A = this chain, B = another copy of it.
Amino acid sequence: MDKGKILLAVTGFHPQHWRELLAADREVVLEPDGASDPSITYAVVWKQKPNILASLPNLRAIFSIGAGVDHIFTDPGLPDVPIVRVVADNLTQYMTEYVVWRVLDHHRQGMFYRALQPKKMWREAQQRPAGDISVGIMGLGHLGRAAASVLLSLGFAVNGWSRTDRPMQGVSTYVGEAGLIPFLNATDILVVLLPLTPQTQGIINYGLLKELRRHNGLGGAVLINAGRGRLQKDADILRALDDGTLKEASLDVFEVEPLPKTSPLWSHPKLFVTPHAAATSDPEHLVPIMLRQMAAFERGEKLDNLVDREAGY
C-alpha cells in the first residue's frame, strides 16, 4: 500500500507543531486545503469542520487528537471509516496525576488550610484515614483504571461505575443504570471520567449529586470532573455547592469553554477551577503513536483503540 497522505483538520488547537511532527514522516495537508483530495487517506482531527471528511474519496481512518471523541460525531457528514482514539501513557499519566492531586487536596482539607493561612490561624483539621473515604470513579476505561490503581495504593476505598461490567481487583464495581444509585450512595468523592455520549450528556445534575454519601469523615460530598463539560449541568453544581449537597468541587471542564467571565463558578469559594488542563494532548508523545499506527495499518495490521460507533466512544 502507498504511504497515505494526512489531512490535519483541527479547531481550537494550534496545528503548527502537530503538522511539523506529522510531516517528518508523511505528506500533510492543512485544512481548509485538501477538500476532495483523492490522495488523502488519513484525517487527524479535533472538532473538524462539518462535511470536510465526507469530501475525501479515499479516506481510510480518522485519528482523534484527544482522549475524547465526542467532537468527531458532531459532523453530519462523518464518513463510515474506522475512528481511532488516542491512548498514550503520557495522557493516562497526566490524568492520573490530576485525579490523585484533586482527591488528596479535598481529602487533606486543602481548602480549609488555605482559608486559615491568611488569618494566621494554627488549627488542625479533623483528619480521617484514606480507608474511611470512598472515591467513586464514573468510567472505568484506561484513564479510570489507572487512577484507581494509585488511589488504592494510597489506601482509599475505591468504587467504580461503568456501562458494561469492568471488574478490577480491589475496586467495588457497579454496572449500568441499576448500579448507579447504589454506587453513588457508597461514594464520598465522585470522580467523573465518562465519555460524552447522548446517554451521558447532563448526567451530573442536582438529583445525581443528592445521592452521594455525605455523612462521612470528610464533612461532605465532593465532585471532581475531569471528563467533559457537557456531562455536567454547571448551574446544578453551583446549587449543590451553595446548599451543602456538595462540600467542595474541582472542575477541569465546563458546559462552555473557555468558562465565560460572567460565570459565577469562577468565584465560588468551594470550587477549584482549571482550564481543561487535566491531561493535555502533547504532540511530541502522540504523533509518533499515530504514525506507528498508520504504518502498521499499511502493512495490513489492525488499528488499535477503535471507537465503537454504536456506543459513541
Contact of A97 among B93, B107, B257, B273 (CB under 8 A): B107
Q: Which residues of A contact B (CB under 8 A)?
A: 90, 93-94, 96-98, 100-101, 104-105, 107-108, 110, 113-114, 117-118, 120, 122-125, 127, 129-130, 149-150, 153-155, 257-259, 261, 266-267, 272-277, 280, 282
Residue of B nearest to A149 (CB): B153
Instruction: List B contacts of A94 (CB < 8 A).
Output: 127, 129
Q: Can you tell how many copies of this chain the complex includes?
A: 2
Q: Is the CB of B98 within 8 A of A108?
A: yes
- Interface contact A127-B277, CB-CB below 8 Å: yes
The listed residue (B129, B150, B276, B277) touching A150 by CB distance below 8 A is B150
Q: How far is the CB of A51 from chain B (nearest CB, A)?
A: 30
A117 to chain B, nearest CB (A): 5
Assess the B150–A153 pair: CB atoms within 8 A: yes
**B104 and A272 contact, CB distance less than 8 A:** no
Is the Cβ of B90 less than 8 Å from the Cβ of A129? Answer: yes
Q: How far is the CB of A189 from chain B (nearest CB, A)?
A: 13
Q: Are A108 and B101 in contact (CB under 8 A)?
A: yes
> What CA separation (Å) do A110 and B273 show in the bound complex?
10
Contacts A123-B275, A124-B275, A273-B113 known; A97 to B108 CB distance under 8 Å?
yes
Q: How far is the CB of A153 from chain B (nearest CB, A)?
A: 6
A259 touches B122 (CB 8 A): yes
Q: Provide the bound-state CA to CA distance between A94 and B109, in Å.
A: 13
Q: Which residue in chain B gives the minimum CB-CB distance to A90?
A: B129
Give 28 pairs: A residue, B residue, CB < 8 Å, sorted on A.
A90-B129, A93-B129, A93-B154, A93-B155, A96-B154, A97-B154, A98-B108, A100-B100, A101-B108, A104-B104, A105-B105, A113-B272, A113-B273, A113-B274, A113-B277, A114-B114, A114-B272, A117-B267, A118-B267, A120-B259, A120-B261, A120-B266, A123-B275, A124-B277, A129-B282, A149-B153, A150-B150, A150-B153
